[in-house]
Amino acid sequence: MDRYAVFGNPIGHSKSPLIHRSFAEQTQQDLSYEAILAPVDGFAEAWQQFVATGGKGANVTVPFKEVAFRLADHCTLRAMQAQAVNTLYIEQDGRLVGDNTDGAGLVADLIRLGASLEGAKVLILGAGGACRGVIGPLLTAGVAVIHVANRSVDTALLVAGDFNAQVSGSGFADIPKQPWTLVINATSAGLHGSRPDIDASHLSHCELAYDMLYGTEPTAFLMWAQQSGVKCIADGLGMLVSQAAESFQIWRGITPAVTPVLNKLQELMQQ
């Protein structure tokens, strides 16, 4: 049986095993998928051990996405743009390939939610790994402009500078006054119950406010967006399932259906 896994630290609460096992059942693929807790400074060794014992591919999560990027023999364009890898697999010639399906997962989820991406004006809050991973795929999906606003201005400018002229950057106080149609929270502020400190006027044309985090309750950012009049809000659970579907497709050559697995996860989270 082909072996797959997700590597992280911590990893106990990962939903990836449930998601991939559901995909396997749905598509009748004979595979196993486990969660592996790797030591913080021991990702490469853990991966090698996994391969030596029949591992075919893996997902990689916090804090190993950057080290996986450096470990891969070859990275896809989207992984290069993200400077991080969330999907690993071994080519027929033995080369280790690093890919990043996070951005494709976000785009797929935005489409599922009915967002119009062609010509969209996108405001991304946060300039860490989560932001960097989605810029390339959003541009490929046809958005018109992306502005990256971050608490630390320098990081926003650095990230924006790595992309073309459609992408700009600033601090939260200097966000240009534009009709942002899609506002995405890529900060980790929600983990501490807070939200990025931006002016509500930036939401006046917002059709969808999206938070890459997810939980049993809406994040502080999503509650604020709703109170500020944004009609459609969504958390990152759909992105999680969609990025997994993209990884599964890469490994198995078959695209699983996202909606039944997303429904199942939502049900479990409400219990």
Residues known to be catalytic: 65
Window 88-107: residues binding ligand ATR (CB under 6 A): none
**151 binds ligand ATR per the rule CB under 6 A:** yes
Measured between alpha carbons, how far is 112 from 124 in angstroms, rounded to an integer? 19
Strand runs (DSSP E) across 30-119, as ranges?
31-37, 55-60, 74-75, 87-90, 96-99
Q: Minimum CB separation from ligand ATR for residue 259, in Å?
A: 28
Q: Minimum CB separation from ligand ATR for residue 196, in Å?
A: 4
Contacts of 25 (CB under 8 A, 6+ apart): none
Q: Taking CB positions, which residue lies at the least distance from ligand ATR?
A: 128
- What is the 3-state composition of the chain as percent helix, strand, coil, each rounded to the nearest 5? 40, 20, 35
**160 binds ligand ATR per the rule CB under 6 A:** no
Strand runs (DSSP E) across the chain, as ranges?
2-8, 31-37, 55-60, 74-75, 87-90, 96-99, 121-125, 145-150, 167-171, 182-185, 208-211, 232-234
Q: Which is nearer to ligand ATR, 221 or 251 (CB)?
A: 221
**189 binds ligand ATR per the rule CB under 6 A:** yes
**128 binds ligand ATR per the rule CB under 6 A:** yes
**152 binds ligand ATR per the rule CB under 6 A:** yes
**194 binds ligand ATR per the rule CB under 6 A:** yes
Q: Minimum CB separation from ligand ATR for residue 50, in Å?
A: 24
The site for ligand ATR, by CB under 6 A, has a size of 14
Contacts of 92 (CB under 8 A, 6+ apart): none
Among 124, 130, 213, 233, binds ligand ATR (CB under 6 A): 130
Stretch that binds ligand ATR, among 29-37, 126-134, 160-168, 208-216 (CB under 6 A): 126-134
Among 9, 187, 243, 247, binds ligand ATR (CB under 6 A): 187
Length of the chain: 271
Among 55, 105, 169, 196, binds ligand ATR (CB under 6 A): 196
How far CA 166 is from CA of 19, 75, 147, 180, in Å, comes to 35, 24, 8, 14
H or E element at residue 270: helix 259-270
**26 binds ligand ATR per the rule CB under 6 A:** no
- Residues interacting with ligand ATR, by CB under 6 A? 126-130, 150-152, 155, 187-189, 194, 196
